[in-house]
Amino acid sequence: MRVLFLAFALLLSPWLTAQRGLRLGSPAFDDGKAIPVKYTCDGQDVSPPLMWAGDVQDAEEVVLIVDDPDAPTAEPFVHWVAYHIPFSLRQLPEGISRTREAPFVEGRNDFGRVGWNGPCPPRKHGPHRYYFKLYAVKKMPRLAPGLTKKEVMAAIAPYVVGKATLIGTYER
Q: Flag whether pLDDT at 3 surpasses 70.
A: no
Any residues with CB less than 8 A from the CB of 115 and at least 6 apart, and which?
A: 47, 80, 97, 98, 106, 109
What is the distance between the alpha carbons of residues 82 and 69, in angstroms, rounded to a whole number?
A: 18
Q: Flag whether pLDDT at 141 surpasses 90.
A: yes
Contact 107, 128 (CB under 8 A): no
State residue 20's pLDDT score. 58
pLDDT-based confidence at 17, cuts 50/70/90?
A: very low
Where is average pLDDT lowest: 14-18, 101-105, 141-145?
14-18
What is the distance between the alpha carbons of residues 33 and 30, in angstroms, rounded to a whole number?
A: 5
State residue 73's pLDDT score. 96
Q: Give the number of other Cβ atoms within 10 Å of residue 142's Cβ.
A: 7
Mean pLDDT of the 11-20 span: 45
Mean pLDDT of the 17-25 span: 74
CATH number (domain holding residue 10): 3.90.280.10
Q: Print the domain residue range for 34.
A: 2-170
Query: What pTM, to 2 d.p., does this model score?
Result: 0.88
Contact 116, 97 (CB under 8 A): yes
User: What mean pLDDT, rounded, does the chain reach?
Assistant: 91
In the chain, how many domains are there?
1
DSSP assignment of 118-133 equals ---PPTTS--EEEEEE
